[in-house]
Copies of this chain bind each other. A is one copy, B any other.
Amino acid sequence: MNILVCGLGLIGASLAKTLKKNTNHHIMGWNRTDSVAKRALADGVIDETGELEAMMPKADVTIVNFYPEAIAPFIKEHKDLFKKNSIVTDSCGIKTKICRELEKENFDFYFVGAHPMAGREVSGYDNSLDDLFDNASFICTPCDGIPRYISDALVGLAQEMGFARTVVTTPEHHDEMIAFTSQIAHVLACSYVLSPLAPYHAGYSAGSYRDVSRVARINADMWTELFIDNKEPLVREIDDLVSNLMKFKYCIVNEDANELCELMKKGNKIKEEIG
């Protein structure tokens, strides 16, 4: 199969490296800054690079790896170049906005939203890894009207690439879950290190500080788009979190040891049971 990877940053280049390592497909690569694609070719990360006009019409699968706002415009702009009946997918962290926008179009290819669930606190081609997706989930969010065999094919490719788990769901359910498992964790890590005491933590911190604050190392521009594009579910999670924090505060202020202990036992039980 011919696979075209558009955008060779952290995620795009990691996908290309994974495809090269674990599959025998022919991997084409394109990047807005051409020198990066040339390096990827020289590094053996892709088999071919060149103009979109030459590569898109022969790609059976095209994976678009841009910031969220750039994905739908790119696909619409190049809609006449994609191979007929081919699969076009993306890798960004929100799905509803993109999938619901693109399903309105009358493409003669199939757009299937996807989210390979891994990342790093650093970005760009130089930080891409061929094992970034080991143990990771691949979430596939087919738009309405996509034939089952098409999403099956994309899931099959993800399995071939070595993703540990694949999930097929609606864009809305994806976004709701991601608000909880990923976005709020980033909001929270940033909010945490904004405490006036953060600059003085050295000598007073151990694993809890390290882990809870880790994802405060964030690509602010990209996450700004992701957060605003996922406004409702994310605000719901912030509200839930603040409400739970206020329960803790209330117990502590009132020295209500029983209720405080119950809250923690509940949290502990959930974590023990669900991991």
Using a CB–CB distance below 8 Å, which chain A residues touch chain B?
A: 117-119, 136-137, 139, 165, 167, 174, 176-182, 184-209, 211-218, 220-221, 223-225, 227-228, 231, 234-235, 237-242, 244-249, 252-253, 255, 257, 260-261, 263-268, 270-275
Whether the pair A203, B244 counts as a contact (CB closer than 8 A) is no
Q: How near does chain B come to A131, taking the closest CB pair, in angstroms?
A: 14
Residues of B within 8 A of A270 (CB): 193-194, 198-199, 216
User: Can you name 11 extra interface pairs (CB under 8 A) apart from A180-B198, A193-B270, A197-B237?
Assistant: A182-B204, A188-B245, A193-B267, A193-B271, A194-B267, A207-B214, A211-B214, A216-B267, A217-B271, A220-B264, A241-B245
Q: Which of B118, B204, B216, B245 contacts A167 (CB 8 A)?
A: B204
Report, nearest first, the 8 A-B pairs whose CB atoms are least far apart. Answer: A190-B267, A191-B244, A220-B264, A185-B208, A177-B204, A216-B271, A181-B205, A211-B211
Most B CB within 10 A of own CB, among A190, A204, A245, A268: A204
Whether the pair A191, B241 counts as a contact (CB closer than 8 A) is yes
Q: Which of B221, B240, B273, B274 contacts A196 (CB 8 A)?
A: B240
Residues of B within 8 A of A176 (CB): 197
Whether the pair B211, A195 counts as a contact (CB closer than 8 A) is no
Q: Which of B181, B203, B246, B261 contacts A201 (CB 8 A)?
A: B181
Residues of B within 8 A of A180 (CB): 195, 197-198, 201, 204, 209
Whether the pair B204, A186 counts as a contact (CB closer than 8 A) is no
Given contacts A189-B267, A212-B189, A212-B211, contact A204 B242 (CB under 8 A): no
Residues of B within 8 A of A217 (CB): 268, 271-272
Whether the pair B267, A255 counts as a contact (CB closer than 8 A) is no
CA distance A247 to B186 in the complex (A): 14
Given contacts A137-B206, A177-B197, A181-B206, contact A252 B223 (CB under 8 A): no
CA distance A264 to B273 in the complex (A): 32
Q: Which of B136, B189, B235, B261 contacts A206 (CB 8 A)?
A: B136
**CB closest chain-B residue, reference A179:** B197
Whether the pair B202, A231 counts as a contact (CB closer than 8 A) is no
**CB closest chain-B residue, reference A258:** B224
Q: How near does chain B come to A166, taking the closest CB pair, in angstroms?
A: 8
Q: Which of B137, B238, B261 contacts A248 (CB 8 A)?
A: B238
Most B CB within 10 A of own CB, among A178, A199, A211, A223: A211
Whether the pair A242, B246 counts as a contact (CB closer than 8 A) is yes
Q: How near does chain B come to A117, taking the closest CB pair, in angstroms?
A: 5
**CB closest chain-B residue, reference A214:** B211
